[in-house]
Amino acid sequence: MCFKKKQPFRHVIVVGVDGAGGYFKDADTPNFDRIFADGAVTYRALASNPTISAECWGSMLLGVGPEIHKLTNDIVSTEPYPADSPFPSLFRRIRTAMPKAALGSFCDWDPITTGIVERDLGVAHDTAPDTELTPKICDYIRQNRPTFLFIQFDSVDGAGHCHGYGTPPYLQRIHEVDVLVNDVYTAVLDAGIADDTLFLLIADHGGADHGHGGWTDTEKYVTFAAAGKGVCRGELQQMNIRDLAAIVLYALGIQRPALDEQGWTSQIPTGLFDDPSLPAYRDLSHLTGAAPRISKAPHTSEPV
């Protein structure tokens, strides 16, 4: 049965898998399959254009497209995200609504935490290669039972740049990250918060050959999955990755901004929650953003 109460969940945990695109459907992922067996899944969530990490993670955490937030890998790697931005991050929105909330951002690619998340919010954070970061993430969950936790694993993107997206070594790395996803989910169970947690997995973009940034199917369509007692089972038919922001706010019972094609364009995908009060999903695929550019250089610190 799907939740209809004001605050469906007390905890939201997002596992971001950089560069995974829609390739979870092609890899051996027994843990992903089990965790999301009764949840909502799509392998065709639409990424932001260009399909580059900063543009895509920025869209997810800010709820606006790259044509609005204008973040690039260079910007997030060198400049702090402004505390007075008219487009605050999910972390600031949650902190404003829930001053005592435990918030965490654990990312292999640290510019997400420093360049997309404001620095004055008391967000717990750490950075390390995926396999070293995971035990720290699990300890944090068990000890703090976070209200909102954002995780980014980077090694799949590194494998794509190194070996080629969709190749056997790349799919093997997704299989290995699937084990890390299970470690995180096990920590949620250990912390005793699984019944009150919305557990999400999302990719920012895919890739073609050894790079990404274009608008081919393997670059622009990505995996999204949701699990929790408030999630309706089935395949989502339409979603954009920037919808993550609206999903998180809805799950925590926080008011979402009004839809504005010049600003907030994050929505709740149809079929994710059984709530007749949710507005109809609008097709905003015409908002493709900046011109494509190709990223050939991996930013991963994980050995591949």
C-alpha count within 13 angstroms, C-beta hemisphere, residue 74: 2
Give dist(CA 107, CA 134) in Å, integer. 10
Q: What's the chain's average pLDDT?
A: 93
Q: Is residue 282 part of a domain?
A: no
Q: In this structure, how many other beta carbons lie within 10 angstroms of the beta carbon of residue 166?
A: 18
Q: In which band, very low, low, confident or very high, does the pLDDT at 303 lie, cut at 50, 70 and 90?
A: very low
Give dist(CA 286, CA 123) in Å, integer. 35
Sheet with 103-107, strands from edge to edge, namely 124-126, 103-107, 148-153, 11-17, 197-203, 221-227, 40-46, 234-235
Q: In which band, very low, low, confident or very high, does the pLDDT at 230 lie, cut at 50, 70 and 90?
A: confident
Give dist(CA 184, CA 100) in Å, integer. 23
Question: What are the residues facing 269 on neighbouring strands?
Answer: none
Domain count for the chain, please give it.
1
Q: Is residue 181 part of a domain?
A: yes
Q: In which band, very low, low, confident or very high, does the pLDDT at 295 lie, cut at 50, 70 and 90?
A: low
Q: Is residue 99 part of a domain?
A: yes
Are 37 and 228 in contact by the 8 Å Cβ rule? The answer is no
Q: Is residue 268 part of a domain?
A: no
- Mean pLDDT, rounded, for 29-58: 96
Cβ-Cβ contacts under 8 Å for 217 (sequence gap 6 or more): none
- Mean pLDDT, rounded, for 217-237: 95
243 backbone dihedrals φ, ψ, rounded to 5°: -65, -15
- What's the CATH number where 238 sits? 3.40.720.10
Give residue 54's domain range: 11-251
Q: What is the torsion angle, in degrees rounded to the nearest 10, for the CA atoms of residue 143, residue 144, residue 150 and residue 154? A: -20
* Residue-wise pLDDT tens digits, 232-270: 999 999 999 999 999 999 999 999 999 999 899 999 999
Q: Is residue 304 part of a domain?
A: no
Q: Is residue 149 part of a domain?
A: yes
* Residue-wise pLDDT tens digits, 174-215: 999 999 999 999 999 999 999 999 999 999 999 999 999 999
Q: In this structure, how many other beta carbons lie within 10 angstroms of the beta carbon of residue 108?
A: 26
Cβ-Cβ contacts under 8 Å for 35 (sequence gap 6 or more): 181, 182, 185, 199, 225, 227
Question: What are the residues facing 105 on neighbouring strands?
Answer: 125, 150
What is the share, in percent, of the chain residues with pLDDT greater than 70? 92
Q: What is the pTM of this model?
A: 0.94
Q: Is residue 122 part of a domain?
A: yes
Smallest Cα–Cα separation from 125: which of 109, 152, 107?
A: 107
